[in-house]
Structure 1
Amino acid sequence: MAQKILISTGGSGGHVVPATILYEHLKNQFQVFMTIDNRGVKFLDKNKYNIEIIDVPPISKNFFLLPFQFFMMIYIIIKSVIFLKKKKIDTLISTGGYMSLPLCLASKILNIKLLLFEPNIVLGRSNKFFIKSCKKIFCYTDKIKNFPKKYLNKINVIPALLRKEFYEIKRTENIDSCVNLLIVGGSQGAQIFDTLVKKSIVELSRKYTLKIYQQTNAFNFEELEKFYKNENINHSIFDFDEDISNIMSRSNLCITRAGASTLAEIVFLNLPSIVIPLPTSKDNHQFENAIFYNKMGCNWILNQNEIEDETITNKLGNIIDNKDEYLSKKLNMKNFSYQNTWNNINQKITFVINEN
């Protein structure tokens, strides 16, 4: 009988998207389930996955709410224990975040094999809490910040997880007659991108032929549409649910946040990018993600707190006018990604699951 695997996820797209990829890798060899919270449901198609909603409320800093949260957490842990026993789960894979805490604790109570997943270059707090209890932790490198040295042997390095459609599309083209600029803010949207970049785009549109692909959230959709129409700039506005792989393949330059999944996708498609890490990301993990690829010569990094009116305009202009560095970035990304195949990742993950 096939092993029963539970993938625990929730929260943002940065947690949910890798969980769905793991699900796709494992579904043909194992009986796979997925738990998710109410926040994360919007990032997947519920009809494609065998899911159960176990909602874990955010941990409040309000002192007076602590007793209530303590009893709520006990309740969710008990619920998780009952769920794991009922489904007869053999292995739990956690994608991190506070929403994983009850299930990871339940797996420890029941002595169920625990595997962790850490896509960032900084070890997440939840993963750090359970690193002693886990069997292995899947990472994209063994140079993880804040990782306890005595548990380094638990790291299992895999190529970056990508949705299957990324392996089926062509790599991005070079900048030629038109600059196809992709602006990506991540699953939460980056409202500052909607304001920070607009002035630069207007300036650049006077010198270059532009096509703008911009991801935004529902609140800013209409405003951006109106802006680009008024400025007579060719554009396509989309949200997180769109088929990002095809949009990336039509782009030849990118401005992005530094979420682990987005950077992995951009690098795989050899799409040179200006990365503006989110300054408020926990443990500054977005900056560390950006630096990881920057050291390989795959991107340019701008500090959001130091950006002035002309910073992005000048940077984009230099990239467009000076192709040597641009082409060098594409070559570096191609060399970095050559081992990233669906079968290679599949074999690495299933080998760890089948280990005693």
Structure 2
Amino acid sequence: MSGANRHYVLAAGGTGGHLIPAFALATELDRRGHHVALITDERGAAIPGKPDFLPAHTLPAGRFGKNPLNWIKGAKAVFEGRKMALRLFESFEPSAVIGFGGYPSMPALLASTSAGIPSLVHEQNAVLGRVNRLLAGRVQAIATAYPEIKRLKPKHADKVHLVGNPVRAEVLQLREEPFPAFTEEGLLRVLITGGSQGASVLSEIVPDGLAMLPPALRSRLQVIQQCRAEDIDAVRERYRNHDIPAELGTYFENMAERLADAHLFIGRAGASTIAELTAVGRPAILIPLPIATDDHQTANARELSKSGGARSIPQPAFTAKELAKQIQALAQRPDTLGTAAHAAWNCGRPKAVKDLADLIESAGGDELMDVIRVDNTQSRGARQQSSAPQGAAKDNAQ
């Protein structure tokens, strides 16, 4: 099946959360000898990380907010985008179209379903997004990242294939590396990020929370924190006053290396963040973004929290005192962090991009390839337990 040269169209909203998995799938399909094109908006076309071989086509995509006055304008943009997508399909002749959510994916998927081209959607979050909800009845398959998906209608459940969230190759390469050694005398390396734009609440709370740790633990801290540009000077001053060494920046290019060295992650619960934490196996304290659509970050954090790989703190309860309490609970003994790391690792789905590519390759055939994980928690956990990095397995022996 993968030997045949085919054409595929990927359609994604203009944010990293939608585009990172799209870029990963494009790379895998290109490796298999297929031709791939991307449909997005102007924001998406400008996002760093797009593979050089991947042509990007920008289409108008209306937004439908709460104000009904914007709906007519949004509908006009969508139908204009649909016409442009149909013209593209006439020349590119895709075997299938897969949408990754966001309004820019809507015109392409509407065009594919009207033209009789097999279509699929991939949902990165634990709540089915608005566009994917609208199109769930039209597509042949719904690829998901979590075993439990909210806002999915029961009548569409038979379309679901659990594949996970594709992650960057440099992050996935770290999966078989052992968890960094953590001893009672060694450094405790903490990585704090707030997504692509940082998060002011982390800048306000984290330095004071770390300062409330017992002196024996606080003296061993090594902190790396991503901040908003407008916050960075104040955060630097807070760490200086607390006498805690911290490396601060508005953006870190080598995030994979930072994650590899970290003993503990503190940050938001975006889909890509959790996919990378579980791919590598890193314990986390997660503060879901309260204004996220349908509160999807709280849902994203649920599986990892239930496994013991993370602590999830609602933002209203996120205080310096609560943060210090949770860090102490995780770092009080060397084996506690290691156990949490292994739990996070067991939630990972390292074959996500391969499973997603298999699924899209099977689109249009007599039967879609079934890549769903049956009895997901037990079967995958048992398989991965035996193949875990030796350091992690050894550290986490009960």
TM-score (norm 2): 0.81
Instruction: Determine if the alignment matches structure 1 residue 302 to structure 2 residue 307.
Output: no
**Partner SS, residue 233 of structure 1:** coil
Q: How does 1:191-340 map to 2 (within 5 A)?
A: 191-204=200-213, 206=215, 207-225=218-236, 227-228=238-239, 231-239=242-250, 242-337=253-348, 340=350
Aligned to 1:105: 110
Q: Is the 8 Å Cα contact of residues 9 and 96 (structure 2) preserved in structure 1?
A: yes
Identity of aligned residues (%): 24
Instruction: Determine if the alignment matches structure 1 residue 181 to structure 2 residue 177.
Output: no
In the superposition, relative to structure 1, how do residues 354 and 249 fare at CA in structure 2: closer, same or farther (>3 Å)? farther
Cα deviation, residue 68, structure 1: 3.0
2:19 to 16, 20, 31: 16
Runs of 4+ in 1 over 6 A off after TM superposition: none
Cα deviation, residue 209, structure 1: 1.8
In the superposition, relative to structure 1, how do residues 100 and 159 fare at CA in structure 2: closer, same or farther (>3 Å)? closer
Aligned to 1:44: 48
Aligned to 1:28: 31
Aligned to 1:345: 355
Q: Residues 82-135 of structure 1, C-alpha deviation per residue, up to 9 Å, x if partnerless?
A: 222232222111001222111111112211111110122211121111111111
**Bigger shift: 86-95 or 195-204?**
195-204
Q: Tell me the distance in 1 between the aligned counterparts of 2:239 and 2:248.
A: 10
Q: Is the 8 Å Cα contact of residues 216 and 237 (structure 1) preserved in structure 2?
A: yes
Aligned CA-pair RMSD: 2.5
Aligned to 1:84: 89
Q: Is the 8 Å Cα contact of residues 167 and 342 (structure 1) preserved in structure 2?
A: no
Q: Tell me the distance in 2 between the aligned counterparts of 1:100 and 1:254.
A: 32
Q: Is the 8 Å Cα contact of residues 8 and 35 (structure 2) preserved in structure 1?
A: yes
Query: Aligned partner of 2:269: which letter?
Result: A
Instruction: Determine if the alignment matches structure 1 residue 355 to structure 2 residue 362.
Output: no
Q: Tell me the distance in 1 between the aligned counterparts of 2:178 and 2:40.
A: 33
Cα deviation, residue 244, structure 1: 1.8
Query: Aligned partner of 1:196: which letter?
Result: I
Q: How many residues align?
A: 355
Cα deviation, residue 255, structure 1: 0.8
In the superposition, relative to structure 1, how do residues 196 and 355 fare at CA in structure 2: closer, same or farther (>3 Å)? farther
Q: How does 1:153-172 map to 2 (within 5 A)?
A: 153-169=158-174, 170-172=177-179
Q: How does 1:58-97 map to 2 (within 5 A)?
A: 58-97=63-102
**Partner SS, residue 98 of structure 1:** coil
Q: What runs of 5+ residues in structure 1 fail to find an aligned partner?
A: none
Q: Tell me the distance in 1 between the aligned counterparts of 2:199 and 2:304.
A: 21
1:6 to 6, 9, 15: 9
Q: What runs of 5+ residues in structure 2 fail to find an aligned partner?
A: 367-398
Query: Aligned partner of 1:215: which letter?
Result: Q
Q: Tell me the distance in 1 between the aligned counterparts of 2:346 and 2:314.
A: 27
In the superposition, relative to structure 1, how do residues 310 and 94 fare at CA in structure 2: closer, same or farther (>3 Å)? same
Q: Is the 8 Å Cα contact of residues 219 and 244 (structure 2) preserved in structure 1?
A: no
In the superposition, relative to structure 1, how do residues 230 and 205 fare at CA in structure 2: closer, same or farther (>3 Å)? farther
**Bigger shift: 246-255 or 308-317?**
308-317
Query: Aligned partner of 2:211: which letter?
Result: V
In the superposition, relative to structure 1, how do residues 58 and 192 fare at CA in structure 2: closer, same or farther (>3 Å)? farther
Query: Aligned partner of 1:83: which letter?
Result: L
Cα deviation, residue 347, structure 1: 6.3
In the superposition, relative to structure 1, how do residues 343 and 319 fare at CA in structure 2: closer, same or farther (>3 Å)? closer
Cα deviation, residue 188, structure 1: 3.6
Q: Is the 8 Å Cα contact of residues 179 and 208 (structure 1) preserved in structure 2?
A: no
**Bigger shift: 185-194 or 319-328?**
319-328
Q: Tell me the distance in 2 between the aligned counterparts of 1:188 and 1:285.
A: 18
Which structure has more relative contact order (CA 8 Å, sep 6+)? It is: 2
Q: Residues 202-221 of structure 1, C-alpha deviation per residue, up to 9 Å, x if partnerless?
A: 33495332211222344434
Q: Is the 8 Å Cα contact of residues 278 and 344 (structure 2) preserved in structure 1?
A: yes
Query: Aligned partner of 1:34: which letter?
Result: L
**Partner SS, residue 247 of structure 2:** strand
Instruction: Determine if the alignment matches structure 1 residue 120 to structure 2 residue 129.
Output: no
